[in-house]
Amino acid sequence: MNTELTSARPERLSRADAARWHMGTPTNPMVIGALLLFDRRLTLEGLQDVVRERLVPHRRFRQHVVEPAHRFGRPTWSDDSDFDLRQHVRQLTSPAPVDEAALIGLSSERINAPLPLDRSPWTFELVDRAPAGSALLVRIHHCIADGRALVLLLGQLADESPGSGETGSPSRPSPRPTAWRRFFGQLGGLFRFLMPGDPVGLLRRPLDGHKHTAWSEAIPLDSIKSIARARGHHLSDVLLAAVAGALGRYEREHGQVPRSVHALLPVAGPSAGAADALGNHYASVFVRLPVALGDPQARLEAVARDMALLRSGGPSRLASGLIGLVGGVAPAIEHWAVRWGARRASLVVSSLAGPPMPLHIAGQPLGGIVIWAPAPASIGLSLTCFGYAGMLRLGLLADAAVIDRPDQLVAAFQAALDELGRGGHD
């Protein structure tokens, strides 16, 4: 990545980055959240030193976004003339170190706090945990980087190299799609984009703009991979089937009849993971979640069939082209296009492979990581599966008007995984 300390003249945001900048709404800001859990205390001075040395040299973290003077044009990056690291990396004060319940509340409070528009849109906020340790709450606007680019930055913040393995790699390789398969994949992607929106229901209702956060306990990745191997499917198929099962369980517990819905699934583009890949290098495709199916194995088979079409690459290429097109038009048109597309899905489901080995940051071991990916426009629920050091955690970000008990949905996800492991039924 570009680590020059001197900045060139303001440059336009890429089409993909401009699209993410304009996707934000008052009820759904496009901010990626992360919670880094340490069993020993970090010092603010040590954290600031690491960020100053390894993150600040990237120009994007010393720049803010400026809108164009005319209607048709992309926003530009502009240097923060009075950049002050203390405004971005700070200690959150509290009467006493926070326990688990207080940390959940604090995470929700901070994820709702707006990022400033007059300086680079990111913050690192440090808090002491009880009985010992620290938590680091990170918020970065999506226009700076996507999830995979931020994983690379996490490795750069670490005291050692994170290694080259893929924590969330699939259980078996995907065959190279044939020309006909790619053609039908693109055709299917077009049909998905033009499909009617998901019906109004538990997940599709007006948002109130207040977000809840929640996360699961650490789940051994080997246990999920073993389910995938036993069924001859991919790890992502198992995770999506578990999400579908969790939504069905949650809806029944709230007196609803489960109905199948569509999720937006981020898919990495060809430049994702490159050494200079700050910015956004992915597109979101539609995947059907068979929530209405009561049998866990039937859900897994249905998800696997749908994912096989998506792996042809056609839908992701179509989505990338549309994102590029949307990112180059006037903001008003862009907002309309984002709202139109968001009505066709009920949630966002992301899956990211983090470092396969434990990391140390500022001299302290990093014990766990939770990620909260944002949702665009009218979508009120985002679920993010993040693998780190052989464990997986589910991060949940939900609008309070959509999911009022996020802890129940997290518990339902764990129960759905257990059912798939047993090969049993709901």
- Statement to judge: residues 217 and 276 lie in one domain: yes
Which residue carries 């990093």 as its tokens?
A: 366
Name the β-bridge partners of 125: 90, 137
SS (H, E, C) 302-328: HHHHHHHHHCCCHHHHHHHHHHHHHCC
Phi then psi for residue 73, to 5 deg, are 165, 155
Q: What is the pLDDT of residue 170?
A: 37
Query: Which residues lie closer than 8 Å to 383 by C-beta, 6 or more apart?
Result: 243, 347, 348, 349, 350, 394, 395, 396, 413
List C-alpha distances in Å: 1 to 9, 119, 156, 271: 18, 21, 11, 13
Q: How many angstroms separate the CA atoms of 23 and 142, rounded?
A: 9
Provide the pairing of β-strand 89-91 with 76-79: unpaired
The sign of the CA dihedral 246, 250, 252, 256 is negative
Q: What is the pLDDT of residue 280?
A: 85
DSSP assignment of 253-291 = HTT-----EEEEEEEE-TTTT-TT--B--EEEEEEEE-T
Burial 375-398 (b: 16+ CB within 10 A, else e): bbbbbbbbbbbbbbbebbbbbbbb
- Residues of the domain holding 152: 15-157
Could you report the per-residue pLDDT of 20-41, keeping only the tens digit for each?
898 888 899 999 999 999 999 9
242 and 413 Cβ atoms separated by less than 8 Å: yes
372 and 393 Cβ atoms separated by less than 8 Å: no
- Statement to judge: residues 146 and 84 lie in one domain: yes
- Statement to judge: residues 150 and 94 lie in one domain: yes
Q: How many angstroms separate the CA atoms of 390 and 287, rounded?
A: 26
Helix, strand and coil content of the chain, in percent to the nearest 5, comes to 35, 25, 40
Tokens linked to 300: 């897994």
The last residue of one of the domains, among 124, 157, 190, is 157
Q: Is residue 204 part of a domain?
A: yes
Phi then psi for residue 140, to 5 deg, are -135, 130
Q: What is the pLDDT of residue 312?
A: 67
Q: Is residue 365 part of a domain?
A: no
CATH number of the domain residue 128 falls in: 3.30.559.10
Tokens linked to 50: 């690491």
Q: How many angstroms separate the CA atoms of 285 and 61, rounded?
A: 29
Q: How many angstroms separate the CA atoms of 315 and 329, rounded?
A: 22
Based on the structure, what is the number of domains in the chain? 2
Q: Is residue 324 part of a domain?
A: yes
Q: Is residue 210 part of a domain?
A: yes
Q: Which residue positions in the chain have pLDDT lower than 70? A: 1-10, 71-72, 161-197, 269-277, 312-343, 424-426
- Statement to judge: residues 20 and 136 lie in one domain: yes
Q: What is the pLDDT of residue 309?
A: 79
Tokens linked to 34: 């992360």
Q: Is residue 163 part of a domain?
A: no
Name the β-bridge partners of 267: 283
DSSP-based three-state secondary structure for 335? helix
DSSP assignment of 346-396 = SEEEEEEE--SS--EETTEEEEEEEEE----TT--EEEEEEEETTEEEEEE
Could you report the per-residue pLDDT of 189-247, keeping only the tens digit for each?
444 444 556 777 889 889 999 999 999 999 999 999 999 999 899 999 999 999 999 99
First-to-final CA distance of the chain: 48
What H or E segment, with its residue span, contains residue 243? helix 235-253
227 and 241 Cβ atoms separated by less than 8 Å: no
Q: Is residue 87 part of a domain?
A: yes
Q: Is residue 303 part of a domain?
A: yes
Q: Is residue 357 part of a domain?
A: no
Maximal CA-CA distance, the chain: 63
- Statement to judge: residues 184 and 312 lie in one domain: yes
DSSP-based three-state secondary structure for 102? helix
Q: What is the mean pLDDT of the chain?
A: 83
DSSP-based three-state secondary structure for 105? helix
| CB-side neighbour CA atoms (13 Å) of 381 | 24
- Statement to judge: residues 268 and 206 lie in one domain: yes
- Statement to judge: residues 204 and 84 lie in one domain: no
